[in-house]
Structure formats: C-alpha cells, structure tokens
Amino acid sequence: MDPTTAYAFPESFNKITILKGPESVAYGGGNIAGTILFERETSAFTKLGTRMNTSILFGSHNRRDQLYDITEGDKAGYVRIIKTKSKSGDYTDGDGHTIHSAYNRDSLTGIIGITPNKNTLYEFSFDASTGKASYADRTMDGTQFDKDSYNFKFEKKNISHDSIKFYV
C-alpha cells in the first residue's frame, strides 16, 4: 500500500543511494523501476562520549514526527538507539468534511558495535516497528504494519595493508 520509503527518516541514515532500473541479481526481484538503498554507518569513537540527534515536526491535523538518535561509545565499541514516531489525524477538506486518513507508526532500532581495533567491526542490530493507517480511497484500512528484523555485520578494513608495496 505505502512504499517503504514513506516510513524512513532520512536523517537517521548516512547514505541514500538510488539505482535506476532493475537490479534483481544484487538486490532481489520486484525492482523494475529501481532500487533505493538506505545505509547507516556509526562513526568510531576515539574516547568515551555521547552523540545525539533529535528532531520534532508539528503540522496540521495533529501531525507529529519525532526522531531520537542517541549513541554512547568509546574506542572498544558503541550502543546506538534510534526511536522514531510518526502520526497524523484525519484531515478536513476545503468543504469542512473529515477525510478518513489518520496514521500512526512507531519504530525502534538498537545497534551494538564492537571495535576491537580501528580496522575491525562486529555489529548486531535489530529493528522493530508497528503501524496503522486509514485510507480514504478504499474500504479497507491497514490495521497492522508490524516488522521485526535482525542483522549482523562484520567489517574488516585494510586487510592487505602490510602486503602492499609501492616502487618508484
């Protein structure tokens, strides 16, 4: 019903890539028009610290978007929590009629990163979201948009650094 991009808070991602055309081999089927990749990178910490990014948007018809992105870490790793909420009530058209169109979505992301050295990252993350939507153009509402996902990432940089030699 709604594209997944409708639920993303772009400011909680570091990189958004748009790939034109079908990319079914690399990114799965069903991408005839293209693919949008949302990527998150948590910058390494060199000492104990906290980073925080928050935003709140208010609009008509009780529209509220909230983002809380908090990361605590040191050179050994980090813990990052991202909480988002987006909701709106039914709107009223120019003739004063209420249009069935309210929605509500909550999302929680947790990320734990372990950095034993500057070239190695072990990262575990989970995402949990729930939502509901009222649709003015159909007799069926979306009453349950629930999603849970778990991810593990291993990253090793500069693997061949010691074996590369340059001759002039």
> What digits encode the pLDDT tens for the residues 120-150?
999 999 999 988 888 877 777 777 778 899 9
Is 91 inside any structural domain? yes
Q: What is the pTM of this model?
A: 0.79
pLDDT at 13: 87
pLDDT at 3: 65
Q: Which domain holds residue 127?
A: 46-159
Structure-token pair, residue 106: 């909550």
The secondary structure element, H or E, covering residue 127 is: strand 120-133
pLDDT cut 70: percent of the chain above it? 91
Question: Closest by alpha carbon to 68, among 88, 85, 45?
Answer: 85
The sign one gets for the Cα dihedral 34, 145, 150, 71 is: positive
Is 19 inside any structural domain? no
Number of domains in the chain: 1
pLDDT digits (tens, 9 = 90+) for 50-85: 999 999 989 888 889 999 999 999 999 999 999 999
Is 146 inside any structural domain? yes
Q: How confident is the model at residue 158 (pLDDT cuts 50, 70, 90)?
A: confident
Point out the least confidently predicted range of 22-26, 42-46, 163-167.
163-167
Is 132 inside any structural domain? yes
pLDDT of 168 over the 50 cut? no
